[in-house]
Structure 1
Amino acid sequence: MDKGKKTVKYLNNLSYNYSARVLVEKGYDESLLQPFEINKDFCIKGMVFDSANGDFLKLSDSGVILRASHGSRMMSDAEIQDKYGRDRQWQYFSQLESTLEQSDKFSYTENYYDLPCMVLLARLIDLQENKNGSLILPKVYQDVIEGYVKGFLYKEKQATILSACEEEPSKYLEQCSEHLKAWLRSLRDKCQMVFLLSSAHPVFANSAMSYILGEDWRSYFHILLLQARKPGFFSVQDPSKRPFYTVVDGQQREEVTELQEGQSYLEGNVFLFNEYIKKFTGKADPKVLYIGDSIRSDAHPSSKYGNWQNVLVLEEMEVEELIPSGPCTLDYKEEKQEEESIETPNIRSGPSEVEREFLLSNRWGSFFGDNLPVDRCKSSADLNVTETNPIRTNTLWTRLIRKHSSIAIPKLDYMADFPMNFKFETFSSSDWRKGFHPGMPKNVTC
C-alpha cells in the first residue's frame, strides 16, 4: 500500500476534529467543528503564518510574497502591497531561512500534521473578522498549538489522535509493501548498521510498527532510538543534558553512556550516537545516510549537527508530476537484478485521486514554484513581463530542500528501486535539480 492512498484524508480529519474539540471546550465558537474538508483546498505545506497580521504567506526563494491570505480569504496584489510594501519583501525571511526556527512572530506548515492547525487558525481569524472583534493572535495561536500538541502526546487509555491510530491502524497507518520490506532486510544484511530514529513514544512505536512492518519489526534494525524529540536530538549543545535511557515495558529507566546492539533507547543525542556508530563500524569517519520526511526535524539538523547525508521524502514530487532526468529513470534493471536478490516486484499506481485532492491546492498553486508578481518583476528589472508572459521562481521550500538535503524522493519505495551501489547525483551537483530522484518536479525552475 503506497503511503497516502487513503490515510491522508482520514488523518487530516482526525487531527482537525480532535484539535477543534479542544478549542470548543476552551470556549471557542462551535462553528470550528465544521468538517475539515470544507477548507481542504486551503491547506498546503510550506505556508508561513505571520502571527502579527493573521496572514498566511507563500514566499519565493528570495523572500518575495507570491500569494497571501488573511485568515482563509485570499488577498489581492493591491492588499499585499499595501500591507507589506511595493517590493512585497517579507521582513523575517533571512531569519527563517538561516535558522528554520519558529518564533512568536511567525510559524510555518512544514509537514502534513500542521495542516489542520492552518485551517483552525484561518477559521478563528475569519470568525473575529466577521464579528468585528479584536483578535488576540498570540493567545489564539497558543491555544491552537496546545490543542494540537495534546493530541499527539501518548497517554495510555486516553482518547488522543495517537490512540485512534492504535485502535484503527488500517484507517490511519500505511503498511510497507513486500518490496520495501525485502529492501530493508537486504539493507540489514549488507550494511554495517541500520537504525531507527523516531520521536514516537515507545508504546505507540511498537503498536504502529507492528502494523506497518509486522510483529518482527525490530529485526529490521540493529538499534532503536525512540522518543528522540527531534530536532533536539541533533541540536542540543550540551550532550550531558540529553542522555540516553533504557526502556522497560514502555517506560524510561536508567541513564546509560554505552549503547548496545539489539537494544532500544529513549531520548539521547547525536554526539554520543556518532561515537557509538564509530565503535560499532570500526571506522574513524563512518558515512551515515539518514532518511526522513521533515526539513526542520530531519534534513536540516542531521546535516548541520550530525554531519550526516540525508534523503528527504517529499510526496509533492509525485503528486505534482515528475520530469525524468537521465540515469534517474531507472534504466538499469538488468544490472540491479544481478546485484540484488530482491524478487518482490515494486508495483506503483501513482498518486490516487484522494492524494491529489488533499495534497494539491488551487488557491496556493505549486509547492515548488510560482509566477513572480508582475509589479515586482517590473520594479526589479527592465524585463518585458506581463500576465501572459510571467517569470517563474522557486519557493522558499525548494530553496531549503536544495540547501539541507542530499537528495529527495517522493516515497521510500523509490529507494528500493536503486541498486545499493548506485551513485546518486545530489543537490550539490553542477545541476542541482538532479538531486530529485527519479526525476525533477515539473514546477521547479533553474
Structure 2
Amino acid sequence: MLRPTVPSAIVPSTVAKYRAKTCSRATRRYGRSTTKKLPQDVNPKGVFACNELDLKEVQVYGFDYDYTLACYKPSMDYLLYNLGRDMLIQKYKYPEGIGNLEYKKDFAVRGLHYDIEKGLLLKLDSFLQIQFGTVYRGLHPVPDDEVLRLYKNRIIPIAYVEAPNKHSHDGPHRTKMVQLADLFSVPEMGLLCNVTEYFLRNHIDYHPEILFRDVKNSVQSCHPIMHGMVVQNVSEYLEQNQDLKRFFVRLKKANKKMFLVTNSPFHFVDIGMKFLVGDDWKDYFDVVIVQARKPKFFTEESRPLRIYDEVNKTQLWDRVTKLDKGAIYLEGTVKQLQDMTGWRGHQVLYFGDHPYSDLADVTLEHGWRTGAIIKELTHEISTLNNPKFKENANWLQMLTGLIEEHQDYEGPDVQTVLDEWIKERDKLRNEIKRVFNEQFGSVFRTYHNPTYFSRRLFRFADIYMSTITNLLEYSTHHTFYPRRGVMPHEYTSYFV
C-alpha cells in the first residue's frame, strides 16, 4: 500500500492549529488567541460508581475497620516500618547496619507487584503489561532494555501473576509475583526495597523470595506491638473524622442496620472507635465481629463464632445461636452471619479498603453490594484538579492524535517533525506520571491504561470514594449511575 505524500509545511501548520486549541502554552508558542477550555474539577468528596447502585435497596451497611472507618496518619507507616526493620535484626539476625535505614515515605504506592524470583518491584497495567520506568531493584530503576532481557516480553503471562481460580486474595498459591494491595503493605514495600539496596551496596548475596518472606513476616508479626502502641497514644496515629458519628446517626435515623467485621482485636478497635465516635460507639452497630480473619471469614463455612468477654478479656466456649446487639463476637463465617440475621444479597452494602480480602468474595459469591474506601483518591484528585496537569493531559491527548493521523505521510522533513512530536509525547507522559509519585506514578493508571489494581477495584467495587463520610454528600435513597464509558470504536461518533 502506497503511503500518502504531504508537503512538509503542512505538518508544522497542523501542530500549530491543534496546539492553539489545547492550552495557553500553545497561545504563547504559536501566537494564537484561542484556547481550549480545561475540564471541570473533580469533586474531592465525590462517590464514584463502577456499577449502578440504588441506596433505596440497601437496608444493611457493613464496615471493615482499618483504613475504612479508621484512617491512619503517616506516623503509622513509620511505626510499622521501624518495628519491621528492628524485628529483622532481632528475630532473623539481619545485619545490624540495616538499623540505620530510614523509611522513605513517598517511595512506593499500593497495588505494585513484587517478583519473588527476580527480586523486583514493578507496576503492571490491566493487560498485565509492565510499565517501563517503574521496575525497581532496591531503590534504583531497572533500565528498559534489562527489563526486556529479564522477561523476554513486555507482557507478563497470566500464570506468572495469577494462580488458577485465584480471584480474591493471597493464599497458598505459588505464583511468581505477589501483589501488595493494601495500605499496610506500603511501609512493607519500603522496607523490602531499603534492605535490598543495602544488600546490593554491600555486596551481600541474598535470595529474593527469602527476603520477601522475612520482611512480610516481620511486619505482620509486629502488628500486636503496633496495636499496643496505638492504644496508648491513639491521637498520634489515628486521623480524627468529626463527620463519622453524624454519618452513623443518619443511617440509624433512616432505620438502616449496621455491622462491623474486622480482622483487628477488640481492644484496638474499641479504643479507636471511642476516639472517632465516642464511648457509645457500639450502640450504632447491630453486630460486631472482631478477629474475623478475612478473607477466611468470607470463604470458610464451618468455623464457629465465639463470644468475647470484655471484662475478662477472653473467649467464651458457649454455643452461639443468635447475634445479640451489644455483644462482641470473633471469628465465625459470613454464612453464619447471613443465617442468623437474614441479611442477604443486594440489601447488604459492605465497605472495605482491600479489593480482594474485603470485597471480592462477598460480591462474587454472596451478591452483596460493595464500596471501596481508597484513601489515595485525595492526592490523586488534587493532582487531577491542578491546571498545569489538565493542560499537559489535554495536550498529550492532542499530540497523540497528531502522531496517529500523520504517521503514514511521507515527504521532506515529515519524519523529523514526527520524531519531535514523539519525543515531546514521551517527555509529557513522564511528567504526568511523576506528579503522582516520582517512582511509580498514579495508583490508578499507567501511561494510558488502568493499572492492575484499578482493574480489580472496578470489578469488585460498585462504588468507591476517599473516605466513608463522603456519603454524607448524598441522600440515603440516592442512586449512583456509572458514566457511559466510550469504547474505542465509539470515540469518533461521540467526540468530533
TM bracket (short chain): 0.7 to 0.9
How many residue pairs get matched? Answer: 361
Matched-pair contact (CA < 8 Å) for 1:55–1:70:
yes
Larger Rg: 2
The farther-off stretch of 140-149 and 267-276 is: 140-149
- Whether 1:302 and 2:368 are equivalent positions in the alignment is no
Matched, 1:394 2:455: no
Partner deviation per Cα, 1:308-333 (whole Å, 9 max, x = no partner):
10110112222111779xxxxxxxxx
Q: Any unmatched runs of 5+ in structure 1? A: 154-159, 325-358, 372-391, 434-446
**1:205, distance to aligned residue in structure 2 (A):** 1.6
1:369 corresponds to 2:445: yes
- Is this contact kept in 2: 1:313–1:411, CA < 8 A? yes
Match of residue 83 from structure 1: 150
Tell me the CA shift for residue 264 of structure 1: 1.7
Distance 1:306 1:299, change over 3 A: same
Which residue is 1:119 aligned to?
A: 190
* Residue 230 in structure 1 maps to residue 294 in structure 2: yes
Contact kept, 8 Å, 2:286 with 2:324, in 1: the verdict is no
CA distance in structure 1 between the aligned counterparts of 2:80 and 2:354, rounded to whole angstroms: 18
Q: In 2, are the aligned partners of 1:402 and 1:432 still within 8 Å (CA)? A: no
Does residue 471 of structure 2 align to residue 415 of structure 1? yes
Corresponding position: 1:431 with 2:485: yes
Encode CA deviations 1:188-212: one digit per residue, 9 max, x unaligned: 2323411111111112221221112
Amino acid of the structure 1 residue aligned with 2:314: Q
* 1:166 CA drift (Å): 0.8
1:118 & 1:142 partners in 2: Cα distance? 12
1:171 maps to 236
AA aligned opposite 2:248: L
Cα offsets for 1:219-266 (capped at 9, x unmatched): 111121111111111011xx22x1111111232112413222332211
Alignment of 1:31 with 2:120, yes or no, is no
1:10-409 correspondence runs (5 A) = 10-25=75-90, 26-34=92-100, 36-37=102-103, 39-66=104-131, 67-91=134-158, 92-95=160-163, 99-102=167-170, 103-104=173-174, 105-153=176-224, 160-177=225-242, 179-236=243-300, 239-240=301-302, 242-249=303-310, 250-254=313-317, 255-278=319-342, 287-321=347-381, 360-371=436-447, 392-409=448-465
- 8 Å CA contact 2:161–2:177 kept in 1: the answer is no
Percent identity (aligned): 23
Once residues 93 and 216 of structure 1 are traced to their aligned partners in structure 2, the CA distance between those partners, rounded to angstroms, is 45
Tell me which amino acid in the other structure corresponds to 2:197.
D
1:270–1:306 Cα contact (<8 Å) kept: no
TM-superposed deviation, 1:276: 2.2
Contact 1:36 1:119 (C-alpha < 8 Å) held by counterparts = no
Distance 1:171 1:6, change over 3 A: farther
Looking at structure 2, the residues matched to 432 and 225 of structure 1 have their Cα atoms a distance apart, in angstroms, of 42
**TM-score between both structures, scaled by the size of structure 2:** 0.68
Please identify, of 90-99 and 200-209, the stretch whose mean Cα deviation from structure 2 is larger: 90-99
User: Which AA in structure 1 matches 2:253?
Assistant: D
Superposed CA offset, 1:283-338 (max 9, x none):
x86610011111122111221233210110112222111779xxxxxxxxxxxxxx
Does the 8 Å CA contact 1:199/1:230 hold for their aligned counterparts? yes
Query: Is the partner of 2:479 in helix, strand or coil?
Result: coil
Unaligned runs of 5+ in 2: 1-44, 46-66, 386-434, 488-496
Match of 1:436 in 2: none
Q: State whether residues 81 and 88 of structure 1, in contact with CA within 8 Å, keep that contact through their aligned partners in structure 2.
A: no
Q: Specify the alignment match of 1:341 in structure 2.
A: none
Distance 1:185 1:202 in 2: 22
- Partners of 1:75 and 1:411 in 2: CA distance: 35
Aligned residue type for 1:401: L
- Give the match's secondary structure for 2:347: coil
**Distance between the aligned counterparts of 1:294 and 1:432, measured in 2?**
28
> For the residues of structure 1 that align with 2:278 and 2:165, how far apart are their CA atoms?
39
1:133: Cα distance to partner?
3.3
Taking structure 1 as the reference length, the TM-score comes to: 0.75
Cα offset, 1:7, TM superposition: 4.7
2:285·2:325 contact (CA, 8 Å) conserved in 1? no
State the distance in 1 between where 2:164 and 2:278 align.
40
Displacement of 1:136 in angstroms is 2.1
